[in-house]
Amino acid sequence: MSVQRRFSKFLGLAAVGALTVGLAACSSGGDGGSESGGDSGELTTVGFVAVGPEGAWREANETNIQDTFTKDAGFDLKYAPATNLDQKSQIDAFTSFVDEGVDVILLSATEASGWEDSLERAQEAEIPVILLDRGIEPDDTSLYVTRIAPDNVEVAKEVGAWAVEQFPDGGNYITLEGPAGVGVVNERNEGWNESVEGSALVQVAAQTANWSAEEGKSVTETLLKANGNDVQLIFAQNDEMGLGAAQAVEEAGLEPGVDVKIATIDGTKAAMQALADGQLSYVHEYNPLFGDTALDVVNKTLDGESVDSYIIVPSEAFDSAEAAQAVLADRKY
């Protein structure tokens, strides 16, 4: 159960937050997005330390945040994507936001570790920090308000439980992982391993494919050859790697979904279409659309209200072509 706590040191910002939102409601507003405009003194300033280009899930998530924290809603969102997924560029952006004195910082970390100094600096400046998607290591909950994200461990546990059910007599599998050092990767491994431990499934290889369809394809080609195509299951920690793996399976003369089942996490429209077409066997959504939740948390925090230290975003699982087809028309990402 998450712990509730009140950030009394942020109470000084509450009046400012309430006033700025109220003034913004009376102003003409403007376009949402990353650029400042108009009288920014009438807006609540939000620094968004983002990941940037990293596939369809990330694009959907960051676009949703930008579409939520608009000037019409009373916010001046300053969007700072990482340079080539580099943590140093994120730390530099974070430091700039603290020096600038923004009202709140949203952080989606490229790497889990190395954030203590930055978070302590924000705390000293009485700037609340809200984690989006990825957690930090070590997980010192006194340094941030909350983390908003689906539960990676639980999601991966459900994928693993499905795999065990599919292969009661066992089978060989490979795991395609995200970049080393990312907390999401560790959490997805933790959940998966918890479910498959003690089962008849055998992991014959695990290798990073950096969230990429292209690398997912090339890594899968290599691992299939190394194991004489004796692989019955692929667990891809994101959709892009799974879609690349499906291509490699086909090019190896095997049939995805029949000879080799492929399970992925994220639930992008491309993956749902692949599930509907039989290229993938199981897709667990990792819902990226939590801008409204982040907005609510920011408002509550600036008003001095308590929030949970981890806010879990509900996500669905899809285990058949029919289930995928049923939601494809309304899929937003």
- Digit-by-digit pLDDT tens for the chain (333 residues) are 333 332 333 333 333 333 333 323 333 333 433 333 334 458 999 999 999 998 889 999 999 999 999 999 999 999 999 999 899 999 999 999 999 999 999 999 999 999 999 999 999 999 999 999 999 989 999 999 999 999 999 999 999 999 999 999 999 999 999 998 788 999 999 999 999 999 999 999 999 999 999 999 999 999 999 999 999 999 999 999 999 999 999 999 999 999 999 999 999 999 999 999 999 999 999 999 999 999 999 999 999 999 999 999 999 999 999 999 999 998 889
* Domains of the chain in sequence order: 4-149+288-313 (3.40.50.2300), 152-286 (3.40.50.2300)
Which amino acid type is present at position 290?
F
Lay out the sheet containing 171-177: strands in order across: 201-208, 171-177, 233-236, 261-266, 282-285, 317-318
* Rounded CA separation 53/38 (Å): 28
pTM exceeds 0.75 for this model = yes
Pairing verdict, β 146-149 and 129-132: parallel
Q: Which residues pair with 46 in a beta bridge?
A: 77, 104
R_g of the chain computed on alpha carbons = 21
* Nearest one of 300, 311, 313 to 6, comparing CA atoms: 300
